[in-house]
Amino acid sequence: MVKASAIIDISLSFMRSVWYESKEKCVLCGGEDGAVCPACFHEYFQPELARCQACGKLIPKDFTHCRDCREHRGPQALTRVLAWGHYSGHWREFIHRFKYQAQPTLIEKIARPLAEWAEAQLPPPDGLVAVPMHDSRLAERGFNQAEVIASALHWELGIPLLSGLKRVLPTRSQAALTRQERLHNLSGGFEVIEGKEISGRVIWLIDDVTTTGATLEACAQALHLAEVKEIYGLCLAAGKEA
Amino acid sequence: MLFYLMHTPAGEFKLSPFPELDKLFQESEQTGMPPFRILIPGIPLAYLEPIFARVSARIGTRAGLETEGFILKIIAKEDALQKFDWKWQNLEQQDLEQMRGNENLSLERSAGDDLADSLSGRQLTDDELSVLAAGIGLNADMLWRQAHILVRAGLGEWVPAVRRGSKGWYCERCGESELEEWPGLYGTSFTCPSCRSLGASSSMKVIYRDLRASAGKFRKIRIGRVGVEQFSSLFPGLRLTAAQEQAAREVLEFARSARERESLLWAACGAGKTEVCFPAAEWALAQGQAVLFAAPRQDVVHDVAPRLQQAFPDISIPVLSGASTAKFGSGQLVLATTHQVLRFYRAFDLIFLDELDAFPYRGSRMLQWGINQALRPGGKILFLSATPDSAIRQRLGKAGRIIRLPARHHRRPLPVPQWIKITEARVESALRENLAALRRRGPVIFFVPKISWVKLWTERLKGLFSSWSISGSYSSDPERQEKLIRLRQGGFDLFVATTILERGVTVEGVQVAVMAADHPVFDERTLVQMAGRAGRTRAHPEGEVVFFAARATKAMKTAVDWIHEQNELARSAGLLD
């Protein structure tokens, strides 16, 4: 008697779980229409907007560069920088969960559309280089989010991961600094330790978020010293210029 | 937070996140001893602990330096740890001076005591400690160090948030063993998916677990003669009915019993089971015990909060829920959602666990784990339910007592649901007729089985009843709080809702309609709870309940049987007029 009711309990809860979980939920808003729902796609990835060629941020359609970069205050050492989405709302929360809440596997949920978009926007590279993280921060977090993104693109597109770029000075966290301080804070923070994998190559330089482009610029300068042929920056998110 | 293996001058091997702090204490105790040594680099506790466990059994049999070498050998065999540059080094004087130069590091007891108090009875991750520190205007490092001072004194412990046990990895906060795996710096890493809403628990994180509450007792709060007889005078404005008094006396007996550990208060919906627990809570507080009221849902917690505060006006009662800003409060009497209970460790002598069978508690191993961790050894739990499942009824029926509270305070029977058969062809005519009849008696709550139906039915019913004020809500609706306030004030003719409203919410004169009562998500307990919204108040003791369904399911029949049984029990006990 007890057993029969227990079995009924289990089958009912199974039925309920199927009922509720059968639809794929949007990884950004939790709504019910696909992995990234149309509303979030429109809100955060804004395909109708252009991207600043120099720093990657979202800008109005008719421009090639944002105001800062038109006045040469952006990165100079990269051929192009591209940010996928606008760093705001649910997209920002997603990146925070991915990065700060120990959920690197979240990248799997968006790897396919990210790869498709990047492939359509940028010329094919010889390899992927992730922006390195300083050892002490890596030790606490256990993973480098830029490496996780690069690794997802590697799996999706079959592009090799290249090593050699290292962070050599511990830099202060960028978040609390002004624009000018950010640019200074990072200069000289990177070095190519072993350059044979990357010299003469076209690479995509991968990071999670870019704001001023200072991190990408510092990496690119170090990569050019190792005679990399061409560098394209690729990030999950950036700011938007109204 | 990273941990280091230390080799102290006394020849002991220990783990610490702040070896320089340990050295500082050691310095003041002993001088002229061998050097204080640490193994670098530091790594998360979850990965250092198993190494330490493997060597600690053999440490006593070797000389200190030989043991250091032995530990290096063990580490060299771990694939994921080989890549680090492991070495033993002396913890130098300059490290110490750097520490002493740090004005933020106050080791004076007076400064530490307030800090330490905020940790009493809690278990918090390093991230949560940071948030707590920010809330009281401190830097996180200082609170972490304070926690470590407590650990040194044996009043607390550090445990990996996700830990490797004999049966594999599991979450120390919620007990989950089905974890998300990912390749990390230290090998396979784990993140707990179950208690994520409280912030990350992973194998990178550490939990500070306070052990003081499980040892000491709180001061006695209110001394006086306590018993049900004095209840009315102790709590002016609250009067117990005969049914409540009888149940309250039994609950008090349970609390005072030396033998009983668990009991069930089985109450009719709307019978006032929370108040029935107040005399026992009062008694326990007077004994210096710590008391927790826990409920699975925020709605219920916020509903109970003012009643509890009114009953215990002299006590500051932290109300801990996802929606409240104070998540880290502590005290002798605490009101919390069952999720927040995961942040306590052996902190309570008496736990009143409301709506034990409600989502998300029912069947949730996580929250059961949490309640058991929050209970002191030898503590007691009283489960409160209107719809206890068969497992707990049988368990407590045999081993403990089941306290019954079958009647509402107005001494009228519970409304018995009526089944209205609907077919696709005559849904609208059935609704038009029956909902209009319900509305003449009072505002109508229209329950639907799925979130996606809320909007659909709100629109459809607006079409049917164009002059009515109609709205709807579901659990993640951002405007839910405002809508619920308006609903309580009678601001709607009809309100479409999912089961979020099924428990604990009282609306004056409300009538209940359940759409698709034969839907598989509606089990007998949910149906009883939804029916229980009607006829709760003295002014409107006789609400009506209608089940719209194409067929009568077993759940529907069982729900009606249960309600009949409660009414019979109440009638035979003379609790109905």
Count of C-beta atoms within a 10 Å radius of residue B527:
28
- Cα dihedral: A206, A211, A212, A218 (round 10): -30
Q: Residue B376's domain is classified under what CATH number?
A: 3.40.50.300
Contact call for residues B173 and B342 (beta carbons, < 8 A): yes
Q: Considering its fold, how many domains does chain B have in total?
A: 4
Q: What's the pLDDT at B106?
A: 47
Instruction: Confirm whether B410 is domain-assigned.
Output: no
- Would you call B160 an interface residue with chain A, using a CB distance cutoff of 8 Å? no
- Would you call B131 an interface residue with chain A, using a CB distance cutoff of 8 Å? no
Nearest CA in chain A to B45: A140
- How far is it, in rounded angstroms, from Cα B383 to Cα B405? 13
Among candidate residues B127, B121, B107, the one with its CA nearest the CA of residue B195: B127
Contact call for residues B133 and B143 (beta carbons, < 8 A): yes
Contact call for residues A219 and A210 (beta carbons, < 8 A): no
Question: How many Å lie between the alpha carbon of A52 and the closest alpha carbon of chain B?
Answer: 34
Q: What's the pLDDT at B362?
A: 47
- How far is it, in rounded angstroms, from Cα B353 to Cα A73? 60
Q: What are phi and psi of B365, to 5 degrees?
A: -60, -35
Point out which residues pair with B176 in neighbouring strands. Answer: none
pLDDT of residue A223 exceeding 60: yes
Q: What's the pLDDT at A102?
A: 94
Cβ separation B1–A15 shorter than 8 A: no
Read off the tokens for B518. 């034969």
Condensed to tens digits (0 to 9), the pLDDT of residues B261-304 reads: 999 999 988 888 888 999 899 889 888 889 999 988 777 888 88
Look at the block and give the residue holding tokens 């089905």: B178
pLDDT of residue B477 exceeding 80: no
Cβ separation A12–B520 shorter than 8 A: yes
Helix (H, G, I), strand (E, B) or coil at B506: coil
> Which residues from B are below 8 Å from A2, CB to CB?
390, 394
Whether residue B500 sits in one domain with residue B530: yes
Q: What's the pLDDT at B173?
A: 93
- Would you call B202 an interface residue with chain A, using a CB distance cutoff of 8 Å? yes
Instruction: Confirm whether B412 is domain-assigned.
Output: no
Distances (CA, A) of B506 to A174, B303, B336: 51, 9, 20
Condensed to tens digits (0 to 9), the pLDDT of residues B398-434 reads: 777 899 999 988 889 999 999 999 988 888 899 999 9
Q: Give the model's confidence band at A174: pLDDT under 50 very low, under 70 low, under 90 confident, else very high.
A: low
Instruction: Confirm whether B313 is domain-assigned.
Output: yes
DSSP code at position B413: P
Helix (H, G, I), strand (E, B) or coil at B15: strand
**From the DSSP assignment, how many helices (H) and strands (E) are in chain B?**
20, 24
Q: What's the pLDDT at B287?
A: 86
pLDDT of residue B473 exceeding 90: no
Whether residue B401 sits in one domain with residue B423: no
Q: Evaluate the CA torsion angle B548, B552, B557, B558 in order and state its sign.
A: negative
Contact call for residues B17 and B158 (beta carbons, < 8 A): yes
Mean pLDDT lowest among A121-125, B135-139, B142-146, B562-566: B135-139
Cβ separation B189–A16 shorter than 8 A: no
Residue with the bigger pLDDT between A181 and B222: it is A181
Look at the block and give the residue holding tokens 């002798």: B332
Whether residue B346 sits in one domain with residue B261: yes
Q: Give the model's confidence band at B107: pLDDT under 50 very low, under 70 low, under 90 confident, else very high.
A: very low
Q: What's the pLDDT at A47?
A: 86
Instruction: Confirm whether B413 is domain-assigned.
Output: no
Whether residue B343 sits in one domain with residue B378: yes
Whether residue B294 sits in one domain with residue B256: yes
3-class SS shares of chain B: helix, strand, coil, % to 5: 40, 20, 40
Contact call for residues B75 and B187 (beta carbons, < 8 A): no
Q: Give the model's confidence band at A153: pLDDT under 50 very low, under 70 low, under 90 confident, else very high.
A: very high
Whether residue B459 sits in one domain with residue B515: yes
Average pLDDT over residues B4-32: 82
Instruction: Confirm whether B577 is domain-assigned.
Output: no
Question: How many Å lie between the alpha carbon of A162 and the closest alpha carbon of chain B?
Answer: 18
- How far is it, in rounded angstroms, from Cα B441 to Cα B300? 26
Residue with the bigger pLDDT between B485 and A165: it is A165
B279: containing domain: 228-405
What whole-number percentage of chain B has pLDDT above 70? 85
| Secondary structure of chain A as H, E, C letters | CHHHHHHHHHHHHHHHHHHHHCCCCCCCCCCCCCCCCHHHHHHHHCCCCEECCCCCCEECCCCCCCHHHHCCCCCCCCCEEEEEEECCHHHHHHHHHHHHCCCHHHHHHHHHHHHHHHHHHCCCCCEEEECCCCHHHHHHHCCCHHHHHHHHHHHHHCCCECCCEEECCCCCCHHHCCHHHHHHHHCCCEEECCCCCCCCCEEEEEEEEECCCHHHHHHHHHHHHCCCCEEEEEEEEECECC
Contact call for residues A66 and A242 (beta carbons, < 8 A): no
Condensed to tens digits (0 to 9), the pLDDT of residues B69-83 reads: 989 999 999 888 998
Average pLDDT over residues A237-241: 93
Q: Which of residues B216, B242, B270 is at a domain's end?
A: B216
Q: Which of residues B182, B216, B250 is at a domain's end?
A: B216
Give the max Cα distance, chain A: 80
Of B41, B452, B523, the CB nearest to A12: B523
Contact call for residues B529 and B512 (beta carbons, < 8 A): no
Q: Which of residues B51, B68, B102 is at a domain's end?
A: B102
Instruction: Confirm whether B494 is domain-assigned.
Output: yes
- How far is it, in rounded angstroms, from Cα B529 to Cα B386? 8
Interface test with chain A among B126, B173, B182, by most A beta carbons within 10 Å: B182
Q: What's the pLDDT at B177?
A: 92
Q: What's the pLDDT at B458?
A: 94
Instruction: Confirm whether B223 is domain-assigned.
Output: no
pLDDT of residue A145 exceeding 70: yes
pLDDT of residue B57 exceeding 80: no
Contact call for residues A209 and A237 (beta carbons, < 8 A): yes
Per-residue DSSP letters for B223-290?
Answer: -S--SGGGHHHHSTT----HHHHHHHHHHHHHHH-SS--EEEEEE-TTS-HHHHTHHHHHHHHHTT--
Question: How many Å lie between the alpha carbon of B518 and the closest alpha carbon of chain A?
Answer: 13
> Which residues from B are below 8 Å from A141, CB to CB?
204
Cβ separation A100–B200 shorter than 8 A: yes
Mean pLDDT lowest among A115-124, B242-251, B308-317, B473-482: B473-482
Per-residue DSSP letters for B34-53?
Answer: PPPEEEEEEE-HHHHHHHHH
Whether residue B77 sits in one domain with residue B60: yes
- How far is it, in rounded angstroms, from Cα B353 to Cα B274? 10
Whether residue B239 sits in one domain with residue B150: no
Whether residue B74 sits in one domain with residue B113: no
Read off the tokens for A119. 């492939």
Whether residue B189 sits in one domain with residue B43: no
Q: What's the pLDDT at B28?
A: 56
Task: Give B315-318 contacts, CB < 8 A, sequence gap 24+.
Answer: B315/B221, B315/B285
- Cα dihedral: B317, B530, B556, A20 (round 10): -80
- How far is it, in rounded angstroms, from Cα A39 to Cα A25? 13
> Which residues from A are below 8 Å from B363, CB to CB?
13
Instruction: Confirm whether B221 is domain-assigned.
Output: no
Q: Where along chain A do its domains lie? A: 48-238
What whole-number percentage of chain B has pLDDT above 90? 43
Condensed to tens digits (0 to 9), the pLDDT of residues B502-555 reads: 555 678 899 999 999 999 989 888 899 899 889 988 888 889 999 999 999 999
Among candidate residues B235, B238, B266, B234, the one with its CA nearest the CA of residue B250: B266
Distance of CA B311 to the CA centre of its chain: 22
Interface test with chain B among A103, A106, A148, by most B beta carbons within 10 Å: A103
Point out which residues pair with B186 in neighbouring strands. Answer: none
pTM of the predicted protein model: 0.80
Q: What's the pLDDT at A176?
A: 60
Cβ separation A16–B452 shorter than 8 A: no
> Cα B397–B401–B402 angle (5° rounding)?
75
Q: Give the model's confidence band at A21: pLDDT under 50 very low, under 70 low, under 90 confident, else very high.
A: very low
Q: Give the model's confidence band at B140: pLDDT under 50 very low, under 70 low, under 90 confident, else very high.
A: confident
Fold classification of A48-238 (topology level): Rossmann fold (3.40.50)
pLDDT of residue B23 exceeding 50: yes
Condensed to tens digits (0 to 9), the pLDDT of residues A75-110 reads: 899 999 999 999 999 999 999 999 999 999 999 999
- Would you call B187 an interface residue with chain A, using a CB distance cutoff of 8 Å? no
- How far is it, in rounded angstroms, from Cα B402 to Cα B265? 6
Q: What's the pLDDT at B390?
A: 78
Cβ separation A140–B191 shorter than 8 A: no
pLDDT of residue B375 exceeding 70: yes
Q: What are phi and psi of A83, to 5 degrees?
A: -110, 140
pLDDT of residue B238 exceeding 80: no
Residue with the bigger pLDDT between A68 and B65: it is A68
Helix (H, G, I), strand (E, B) or coil at B139: coil
Among candidate residues B399, B380, B396, the one with its CA nearest the CA of residue B388: B396
Q: What's the pLDDT at B466?
A: 93
Condensed to tens digits (0 to 9), the pLDDT of residues B162-202 reads: 999 999 999 999 999 999 999 999 999 999 998 988 889 99
Whether residue B552 sits in one domain with residue B457: yes
> Cα A90–A95–A96 angle (5° rounding)?
95
Count of C-beta atoms within a 10 Å radius of residue B204:
29
- Would you call B400 an interface residue with chain A, using a CB distance cutoff of 8 Å? no
- How far is it, in rounded angstroms, from Cα B117 to Cα B113? 6
